[in-house]
Structure 1
Amino acid sequence: MATVSLSGLQAFVAEIGLGPIPSFAAADVLHNPIDIYHSYLAEVFRALVECDPDLVYNSIQPANTVGNGDLNIVLPRLKLPGTTPKELASELLKKFQPHPLFALPFKDGVHIRFFFSPKSIPRLLFPYINDRKEKYGMDASLGMQNDQGSRQKKVLIEFSSPNIASEFTEAHLRSTILGAFVANMYEAMGWEVTRINYLGDWGKHLGLLGVGWQKYGSEKILDNQADLFRYIHDLYAKMEEELQPEQDARKRAREDGQDFATMESQGLFAERDATFKRMEDGEPEAITLWKKLRDISVEYYTTVYSRLNIKFDEYSGESRVSLDSDAVTEVEAVLKDKGIYEEQDGAWVIDFDKHGAKLGTATVRKNGSTTYLLRDLATVFDRLKSHAFDKMIYVVCEQDVHFRQVFKAVELMGRVDISDRLQHITFPKASGQSSGGSSHLLGDILDQCQFRMLEAMNSNPEEYQFEDPEGISKVMGLNFLIVHELSLRKNHNSSLDFNFMASSEGETGIRLQMSYSRLCSAILKNGVHPREDEINNIDYSSLWDEPWSELLRLIARYPEVTTSAFKTLEPGTILSYLFCVVEQISSCLDDADEDDSEGEGSTVGSKYAARAVLYDSVRQVLENGMKLLGATPFNK
């Protein structure tokens, strides 16, 4: 663990023949090994040009691809008078003296590009990764509130959020997997994370389900039904089917310009609304029924989410503020006192256009019942009291206008300090028909993943040589699902396609896992396992040439990749990087398979020892990245 403290890192670089690491405000040498190179390079050029040291440091940036070098000096950023960037490049190249960390630089337009010396990378990088292991790529300092006594910052992340009894849509699936990734990222960067599942456990759909239970349910069913959640799901579907003729009639009346209000006061519409009103009024019998239905749902989801390695800290819902009248009353009092909402056609609304936001008009309360907007506003302030959060993130499909209305309403209430802490991560609905068939429950989707994966494995036993195919198919099927959902950009709306499970090619979870397994097999086959105290004494000259040196440079970039992904909360950043690592390690393993060196001479022994350390470092990077995504690496 020598390199995890600044004093230890300084002692380490001295041991490998380097002077003290220069200090720059923007450098984070304890979490990013590239910043060590960056600091030495900035110190070299600070001596060659007369300008502010931090300006020199900031004029150096990591190359966007390994083909463009490792670090680039962007000469216009130096803002030196009296010379053009191209002239300056030629002048600086003449003055640059050989350095043990860098190969000779070259000029590229207004850039000077540097590659790390392949001789230096193993000696610096391998101990750095080995000291951090599963924490390589994490930076706990990003989660500290340094201006308040180093307090750990708190983030609430709301995701998944299915409606009770309704089907689990692809939008809920993507929210679940993307939200889990966002939570993992914040946790890796030192934040205190609270994962919230904000169930759709309140509203008129619960009234409809209540009517269905009164008509078709019984305590006897609760005692005997093996799969209660599937039962209430099917019951809700039955009630929706019964309601459909009334909905169609109302739609026709609206289209014909007729009064449809009378329709809503009769039939199943009226029964639904009356049942939900009894819940809102807190009638004991109605609340007891609601609680039973909710408990069945939470029990089901708790079990099924665990299959995805997801554990929610809190199962909340609109019911929390709906049953606590104080939370809603306090919000409405502010809305009224500040003249934010107004009465319109018997309802209370917010006309956002009147308040300078082109967000239309939103209903806050209608027919005495609270609306989605009012309940979400009350929830913001309820959570502020209970959690004192520094940030709250909603991972929800579309609904961009709704969340902008929520955030704007909070601002209009005079709490811009709170609205600035709120963020909505959105994505579009999936288009087309999923190849998964008619799966309506999350458990069904996960079962389908396992079944399709087992089918693919059985159809290609040479490709998938595992001792426990049924057990492995569970993990690989879920890895496929997670990588598929996270590989879709925010503006991409493709449906889940299980047909890709038939191949280990392409950028899929199958390929990622198979590459990880191949690497673990190579570690065993290599047969050399250096001790930690031997890592610095190994001859790494066999790794100086391609493709090995390219792989070294690539794994050094991992902390920068995770930092970038944290800033954007874009999982594709990590996925793209991991597949680059997979491509490069595959080339190295192919090269090793073609190597027919034999014997036990010192050169051969050093080569296998060098590979052993490299393989383990790459395995650590792949494992860390996969776990951030929510995937489960295994080496069976």
Structure 2
Amino acid sequence: MKTMIAQLLHDTLDHAIDQATIEQLLEKPKHDELGDIAFPCFILAKQLRQSPVHIAKDLAEKLQDVRIKEVVANGPYVNFFLQPLPIANTIIPAIVSEGAAYATAPKNGKKVVVDYSSPNIAKPFSMGHLRSTVIGQAISNIAEKMGYEAVRINHLGDWGTQFGKLIVAYRLWGNPEAIRQQPIQELLKIYVKFHEEAEKDATLDEQARQAFKALEDGDAQALGLWKEFREASLLEFNEIYELLGVHFNSTNGEAFYNDKMDRVVEELEAKKLLTSSEGAQVVDLGETLPPCLIKKKDGATLYATRDLAAAIYRLENYAPEKLFYVVGGEQTLHFKQWFQVLDKLGYDASKFAHIPFGMMLKDGKKMSTRKGKIVLLANVLNETMEAAKQTILEKNPTLKNSDVVAKQVGIGAVLFNDLKNDRLNDIEFSIEQMLTFEGETGPYVQYTNARIHTLLEKADFKAHTTPLQAIDDTLWPLIKVLETFEATIARAYTQADPSQIAKFSLQLSRTINKFYGQQKVLTQDDTQQDRLTVLYAASIILEQCLNLLGIEAPAHM
């Protein structure tokens, strides 16, 4: 609708302002009685040397189109009242005929790399890891909807000084039999114990540094322990990913780049970018940022060195248009530093984007693996699935495949609770809030869709793409929401913000349920087929929204 009006204004104004700018300026009036779309004329005042009020009045008299019912000047605004039926017949038949493919851009032959999840080996997969995982998965899905090939990368934290700590902890307190039985739980236990003891014994940290240096130098015993920790962790991680429906094209972690960092150092030296600072090797970034550490004084590498090696590898192997790093906001400085180093090396740093997000909080505080204050994601998923099953048994005891639906609802509740939030906001962990079937939740959206399926089955509905006959005032708000779906996908991709999709699904669900309150759907009159067709189209879009967020859409609940 906005594109149509922007083109009309562009032509009427004799191209005095470009169409893209007009489309960006178009807005929704505060109240429905003021119109469907409004254009503010302030931007034209200087160019046309007239007041915005006069310009609005002049435009309102000139503008006309079969898709527009009325154009009204309201002060400095031009307000458009659209013809519901022509608009509906450009949208609904297309949704019905294309189904899940509706609003899917043709493949453009371009790739985007999405780096997400990236848990640390030998640590449990906690609720703190959820955000990167589900945001990255949704961004990948949205990118594919926009026509890109998404290369999904799980850059595992399988290297670094924490492994020196874990090796020392294992040698001092490790119980091989207990670790074989419950690898992650036991490794976490001794990791937490290391930090407790290190506060009393400062020599432990030095032992850990030496242990990690031995690991880097290829010590057989250290490497053997590291491989055991990695394999045990991956088994547990993959169980979580399977539950979440998350998949990757690559699980190359930090260790993969051990033999690729010398090249980075050599390139930095060749461009005379390395300087010495207290024995360490750094890249000076001027007054705006602290120096970027490349090598410690003992020769050990740092995260920046590894990230630079990974970035160059991905540029050369995938030739992507864009590379997204879905990593918490607390790492913003780190990314700014090595992005700038990448730029100094002559690589196209504009291709790289850090996608920060807020923290997952428990009782208002950050979850910490080091202090053992974590909530295990596996426990949460099991609890939400069980709670969803109990609710389903109470509300619909005869439901077939109740275990499958409980899984879809329970996991969907966890994912939606994260993705409905603005990415940068912190989230307070609460199972109770996730699972309610009312309000801004995944189960609410899923139930709204399932209710449509029930209505369609009762009416023995058969989909068709013939033009609709009538759109009354109760259906028109639903048409207007559906019309914005394609623009919402584009905005979610541009802003790397899946919450745009989640919020749209909530808006659509609320509009559907408001429609039920105003209009009885099954009335066996001449317009029942039109109502059912619009609801069928709404169901297609709701399911698309959920799928883009990585959430399943049960047909019955």
Distance 1:178 1:275 in 2: 35
Q: Hey, what does 2:358 align to over in structure 1?
A: 428
Q: Hey, what does 2:210 align to over in structure 1?
A: 274
Whether the 8 Å contact between 2:264 and 2:308 is mirrored in structure 1 is yes
Distance 1:78 1:94 in 2: 17
Match of 1:235 among 187, 212, 224: 187
- Tell me, yes or no, if structure 1 residue 550 matches structure 2 residue 550: no
Match of 1:310 among 229, 243, 246: 246
Distance 1:163 1:56 in 2: 48
Match of 2:27 among 33, 49, 63: 63
Deviations 1:331-381 (A, max 9, x none): 1123233333322333223343xx243335646323121111211122211
Q: Hey, what does 1:106 align to over in structure 2?
A: 72
Q: Hey, what does 1:478 align to over in structure 2?
A: 411
Whether the 8 Å contact between 2:274 and 2:282 is mirrored in structure 1 is yes
Larger Rg: 1
Whether the 8 Å contact between 2:413 and 2:442 is mirrored in structure 1 is yes
Whether the 8 Å contact between 1:529 and 1:612 is mirrored in structure 2 is no
Distance change >3 Å, CA 552–CA 336, structure 1 → 2 = same
Distance 2:19 2:275 in 1: 57
Deviations 1:205-229 (A, max 9, x none): 223333455567688778xx46xxx
Distance 1:370 1:241 in 2: 26
- One-letter amino acid of the structure 1 residue matched with residue 245 of structure 2: N
Distance 1:585 1:159 in 2: 34
Match of 2:227 among 291, 299, 320: 291
Distance change >3 Å, CA 120–CA 506, structure 1 → 2 = same
Match of 2:298 among 367, 377, 393: 367
Q: Hey, what does 1:162 align to over in structure 2?
A: 119
- One-letter amino acid of the structure 1 residue matched with residue 303 of structure 2: Y
- One-letter amino acid of the structure 1 residue matched with residue 251 of structure 2: Y
Q: Hey, what does 1:201 align to over in structure 2?
A: 158
Distance 1:631 1:163 in 2: 25
SS of the equivalent of 1:175 reads: helix
Displacement, 1:105?
1.2
Displacement, 1:135?
2.3
Whether the 8 Å contact between 2:116 and 2:132 is mirrored in structure 1 is yes
SS of the equivalent of 2:68 reads: coil
Q: Hey, what does 1:84 align to over in structure 2?
A: 51
Match of 1:608 among 528, 536, 540: 528
Whether the 8 Å contact between 2:389 and 2:406 is mirrored in structure 1 is yes
Whether the 8 Å contact between 1:449 and 1:477 is mirrored in structure 2 is yes
- Tell me, yes or no, if structure 1 residue 585 matches structure 2 residue 512: yes
Match of 2:451 among 515, 518, 525: 518
Match of 1:448 among 383, 386, 399: 383
Whether the 8 Å contact between 2:282 and 2:291 is mirrored in structure 1 is no
1:117-516 superposed matches below 5 A: 117-140=83-106, 144=108, 152-214=109-171, 225=180, 230-250=182-202, 263=203, 268-322=204-258, 324=259, 327-352=260-285, 355-359=286-290, 362=293, 364-397=295-328, 398-415=330-347, 417=348, 419-433=349-363, 440-457=375-392, 461-462=394-395, 466-501=399-434, 503-516=436-449
Displacement, 1:307?
1.3
Distance change >3 Å, CA 464–CA 273, structure 1 → 2 = farther
Distance change >3 Å, CA 613–CA 346, structure 1 → 2 = same
Displacement, 1:131?
3.3
Distance 1:239 1:84 in 2: 70
- Tell me, yes or no, if structure 1 residue 570 matches structure 2 residue 497: yes
Distance change >3 Å, CA 56–CA 208, structure 1 → 2 = closer
Distance change >3 Å, CA 528–CA 361, structure 1 → 2 = closer
Whether the 8 Å contact between 2:482 and 2:508 is mirrored in structure 1 is yes
Q: Hey, what does 1:561 align to over in structure 2?
A: 488
Displacement, 1:486?
1.1
Distance 1:239 1:117 in 2: 66
Distance change >3 Å, CA 610–CA 290, structure 1 → 2 = same
Deviations 1:559-596 (A, max 9, x none): 11111111112222222222121111112223444x68
SS of the equivalent of 1:140 reads: coil
Count of aligned pairs between the two proteins: 546
Deviations 1:183-241 (A, max 9, x none): 1111111111111111110112223333455567688778xx46xxx424422422430
Distance change >3 Å, CA 366–CA 236, structure 1 → 2 = farther
Report % sequence identity.
24
Displacement, 1:408?
1.3
The answer for unaligned runs of 5 or more in structure 2 is none
Distance change >3 Å, CA 369–CA 218, structure 1 → 2 = same
Distance 2:463 2:313 in 1: 55
Distance change >3 Å, CA 425–CA 405, structure 1 → 2 = same
- Tell me, yes or no, if structure 1 residue 35 matches structure 2 residue 3: yes
Distance 2:58 2:187 in 1: 79
Whether the 8 Å contact between 1:139 and 1:190 is mirrored in structure 2 is yes
* Greater shift in the superposed pair: 511-520 or 374-383: 374-383
Distance 1:557 1:239 in 2: 50
Whether the 8 Å contact between 1:350 and 1:364 is mirrored in structure 2 is no
Deviations 1:8-39 (A, max 9, x none): xxxxxxxxxxxxxxxxxxxxxxxxx7535654
The answer for unaligned runs of 5 or more in structure 1 is 1-32, 145-151, 251-262, 599-603
Q: Hey, what does 1:28 align to over in structure 2?
A: none
Distance 1:596 1:176 in 2: 42
Distance 1:514 1:493 in 2: 27
Distance change >3 Å, CA 101–CA 77, structure 1 → 2 = same
Whether the 8 Å contact between 1:38 and 1:71 is mirrored in structure 2 is no
Distance change >3 Å, CA 629–CA 64, structure 1 → 2 = farther
Displacement, 1:496?
1.6
- One-letter amino acid of the structure 1 residue matched with residue 342 of structure 2: V
SS of the equivalent of 2:295 reads: strand
Distance 1:221 1:597 in 2: 66
Whether the 8 Å contact between 2:138 and 2:549 is mirrored in structure 1 is yes
Whether the 8 Å contact between 1:55 and 1:78 is mirrored in structure 2 is no
Distance change >3 Å, CA 58–CA 488, structure 1 → 2 = closer
* Greater shift in the superposed pair: 617-626 or 294-303: 294-303
TM-score, normalised via structure 2 length: 0.89
Deviations 1:426-479 (A, max 9, x none): 122233338999765432232122133334445xx2378733433322111111
Whether the 8 Å contact between 2:392 and 2:402 is mirrored in structure 1 is yes
